[in-house]
């Protein structure tokens, strides 16, 4: 049994022996002062004195006076008293000199107390000095906390410390590249870079191309992005290419899945923008048609209803896809049971549905995909068409070369891919084929697919970085196909079968949800495949087990931006 009263009583006894100079065995001299102490007590409190008294040095056996040089007398007295009492007064006036003395004499517990005090005192005006101090004396906790404080308050630090822009290239790059960097808007990162360059333009201009890659330009606000080309510092080819790429992204001319692993196309969490998973319609275990559209919040882990498209319930046969940051629902059956050409657009940033111009053709059980800023809708037996958001007009394109069913479509690397089951003259499904549409030629080509593991029904399909991923609709087998090298790879199996489920790309991962799991019936599981680790993990759960639903990912502001801002004089903000 541990006696909680023993330690305090022991300290009181040691303090009494010291103050009354009972059993003291060494005298320490420092400056013009001297103090009598017990070697055993100081050796227990300080590794410095432990080495001195326990080693082969003269001081280890001599009872003569020992001089301690280059120490602050007041701080040294504080440390001696701490050795006997366990009490120390750390304040703004003495913390730095006390820390220096405790570091010299290896009073680690006092060093820790000083570190805790300094952490509590961190501010925009001192965090850089604290970081330098901590690094110079090896106080790793203080170093980590001061650097984290800088990352979380970089806007304020840049505004109140002129020497912030004296940071060297490597240190500045590490700062901007950190996942812990908190800025309320992406343009803040750009302004920090431009201000850092301007601090010594002649010397630093050569580093702009290296640093501009750290800016997530696609998420810089449009009116701000339009001003960048007018800045002389941004006139180089590399910067111009990045700006052009960002404009194409904002104009929905870039397929996000083609840049799945590029950090520039992933929003910074501190800006409050996240890529969210959206579930559209479907059917539940009671075979009731679900007409709602719901988004999953990855922060709160909750689902939020995004309302019905203009109050019109979803009746099946429709197709869904994301074009840029918007969600489109095309065709299917309307509330009166008739096949429709209606097309709805959801804009998540303003939480608004709108009815756009209808398709040329009524369609159901068709497929849709986005490619180069346009929406493509393809049917297996009634042609295909494309919608241009800029003109709000539909245009007929060349139909599939053969009648098909069970279509899945995805846009990737400038081509539209459709996997489907061709129907022969007897009305029977043939071998599953991959059709490739070239929008420049308005023509289709076909590829007879020969995957390592053949499918019994048309698989689910999506793409990442130009690679097509196929998940057997009635199996756990995931396979990928490279259209360039025409090569296949067999990947890790999903944890469940997702017959009648839905697949999309989310956060650079293959994301499959719902459907019938052979082991347990209809499932609510959403699982993700990580291409980097060749492994699956659970992402979330649907609100209820669902099949024959649609899914996409869109960017949405789901929380308030974090961290105070920094604004240079380069550009105007509204």
CATH number at 348 reads 2.120.10.80
Give tens-digit pLDDT for 428-455: 777 899 999 999 999 999 988 899 999 9
Mean pLDDT of 454-482: 93
How far apart, in whole angstroms, are the C-alpha atoms of residue 434 and residue 417? 7
Residue 217 located in a structural domain: yes
Q: Do 343 and 286 fall within a single domain?
A: yes
Mean pLDDT of 260-268: 91
Q: Do 174 and 278 fall within a single domain?
A: no
Query: Higher confidence at residue 317 or residue 291?
Result: 317
Q: Do 58 and 173 fall within a single domain?
A: no
In the chain, the percentage of residues whose pLDDT exceeds 70 is: 95
Q: 497 with 476: CB under 8 angstroms?
A: yes
What secondary structure letter does DSSP report for 106?
Answer: T
How far apart, in whole angstroms, are the C-alpha atoms of residue 404 and residue 423? 5
Query: Higher confidence at residue 291 or residue 417?
Result: 417
How far apart, in whole angstroms, are the C-alpha atoms of residue 141 and residue 363? 63
Give tens-digit pLDDT for 213-248: 999 999 999 888 888 888 888 888 899 999 999 999
Q: What's the pLDDT at 58? A: 52
Residue 140 located in a structural domain: no
Residue 565 located in a structural domain: no
Residue 391 located in a structural domain: yes
Residue 142 located in a structural domain: no
Q: Is the pLDDT of residue 61 over 90?
A: no
* Residue 23, domain extent: 6-121
How far apart, in whole angstroms, are the C-alpha atoms of residue 418 and residue 107? 70
Contacts of 93 (CB under 8 A, 6+ apart): none
Q: Do 190 and 308 fall within a single domain?
A: no
Residue 255 located in a structural domain: no
Mean pLDDT of 296-325: 85
Residue-averaged pLDDT of the chain: 90
| Gyration radius of the chain's alpha carbons | 33
Q: What's the pLDDT at 123? A: 93
| Helix, strand, coil share of the chain (percent; to 5) | 30, 30, 40
Q: Do 428 and 546 fall within a single domain?
A: yes
Q: Do 359 and 481 fall within a single domain?
A: yes
Mean pLDDT of 362-370: 95
The CATH number given to whatever domain includes residue 212 is: 1.25.40.420
Q: 136 with 148: CB under 8 angstroms?
A: no
Q: What's the pLDDT at 18? A: 92
Q: Do 273 and 227 fall within a single domain?
A: no
Q: Do 322 and 465 fall within a single domain?
A: yes
Q: Is the pLDDT of residue 208 over 90?
A: yes
Tally of domains in the chain: 3
Q: Do 335 and 232 fall within a single domain?
A: no
Residue 491 located in a structural domain: yes
Query: Higher confidence at residue 468 or residue 291?
Result: 468
Q: Do 184 and 330 fall within a single domain?
A: no
Q: Which of 216, 250, 284 is the last residue of a domain?
A: 250
Q: Is the pLDDT of residue 566 over 90?
A: no
Q: Do 294 and 355 fall within a single domain?
A: yes
Report the greatest alpha carbon distance in the chain: 111
Residue 572 located in a structural domain: no
Q: 469 with 530: CB under 8 angstroms?
A: no
Q: What's the pLDDT at 571? A: 54
pTM, rounded to two decimals: 0.83
Q: Do 47 and 94 fall within a single domain?
A: yes
The CATH number given to whatever domain includes residue 63 is: 3.30.710.10
């Amino acid at each position: 049994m541990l006696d909680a009263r023993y330690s305090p009583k022991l300290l009181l006894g040691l303090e009494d022996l010291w103050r009354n100079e009972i059993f003291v065995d060494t005298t320490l001299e420092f400056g013009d002062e001297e103090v009598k102490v017990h070697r055993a007590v100081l050796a227990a409190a300080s590794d410095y004195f432990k080495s001195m008294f326990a080693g082969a040095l003269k001081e280890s056996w001599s009872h003569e006076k020992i001089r301690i040089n280059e120490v602050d007398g007041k701080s040294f007295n504080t440390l001696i008293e701490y050795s006997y009492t366990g009490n120390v007064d750390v304040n703004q006036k003495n913390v730095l000199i006390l820390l220096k003395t405790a570091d010299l004499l290896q009073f680690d517990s006092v060093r820790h107390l000083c570190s805790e005090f300094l952490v509590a005192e961190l501010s925009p005006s001192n965090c850089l000095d604290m970081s330098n101090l901590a690094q110079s004396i090896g106080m790793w906790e203080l170093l980590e906390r001061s650097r984290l404080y800088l990352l979380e308050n970089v806007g304020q630090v840049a505004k109140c410390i002129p020497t912030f822009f004296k940071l060297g290239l490597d240190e500045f790059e590490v700062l901007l590249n950190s996942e812990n960097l908190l800025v309320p808007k992406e343009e803040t990162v750009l302004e920090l870079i431009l201000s850092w360059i301007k601090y010594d333009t002649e010397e630093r201009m050569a580093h702009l191309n290296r640093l501009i890659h750290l800016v997530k330009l696609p998420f810089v606000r449009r009116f701000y992005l339009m001003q960048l080309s007018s800045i002389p510092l941004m006139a180089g080819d590399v910067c111009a290419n990045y700006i052009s790429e960002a404009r194409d992204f904002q104009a929905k001319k870039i397929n996000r899945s083609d840049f799945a692993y590029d950090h520039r196309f992933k929003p910074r969490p501190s800006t409050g923008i996240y890529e969210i998973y959206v579930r559209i319609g479907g059917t539940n275990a009671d075979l009731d048609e679900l007409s709602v559209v719901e988004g999953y919040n990855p922060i709160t882990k909750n689902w939020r209803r995004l309302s019905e498209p203009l109050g019109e319930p979803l009746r099946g046969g429709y197709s869904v896809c994301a074009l840029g940051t918007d969600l489109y629902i095309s065709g299917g059956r309307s509330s009166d049971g008739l096949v429709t050409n209606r097309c709805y657009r959801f804009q998540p940033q303003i939480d608004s549905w709108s009815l756009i111009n209808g398709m040329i053709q009524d369609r159901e059980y068709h497929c849709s995909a986005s490619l180069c800023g346009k929406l493509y809708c393809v049917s297996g037996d009634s042609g295909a068409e494309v919608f241009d958001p800029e003109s709000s007009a539909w245009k007929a394109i060349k139909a599939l070369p053969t009648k098909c069913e069970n279509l899945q479509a995805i846009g990737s690397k400038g081509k539209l891919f459709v996997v489907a089951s061709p129907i022969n003259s007897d009305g029977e499904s043939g071998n599953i084929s991959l059709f490739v549409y070239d929008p420049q030629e308005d023509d289709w080509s076909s590829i007879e697919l020969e995957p390592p593991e053949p499918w019994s029904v048309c698989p689910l399909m999506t793409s990442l970085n130009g690679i097509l991923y196929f998940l057997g609709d009635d199996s756990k087998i995931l396979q990928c196909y490279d259209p360039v090298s025409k090569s296949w790879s067999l990947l890790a199996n999903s944890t469940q079968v997702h017959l009648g489920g839905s697949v999309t790309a989310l956060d650079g991962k293959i994301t499959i949800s719902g459907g019938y799991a052979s082991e347990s019936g209809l499932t609510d599981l959403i699982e993700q495949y990580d291409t980097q680790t060749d492994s699956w993990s659970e992402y979330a759960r649907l609100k209820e087990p669902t099949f024959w639903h649609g899914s996409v990912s869109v960017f949405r502001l789901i929380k308030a931006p974090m961290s105070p801002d920094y604004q240079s004089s380069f550009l105007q903000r509204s």
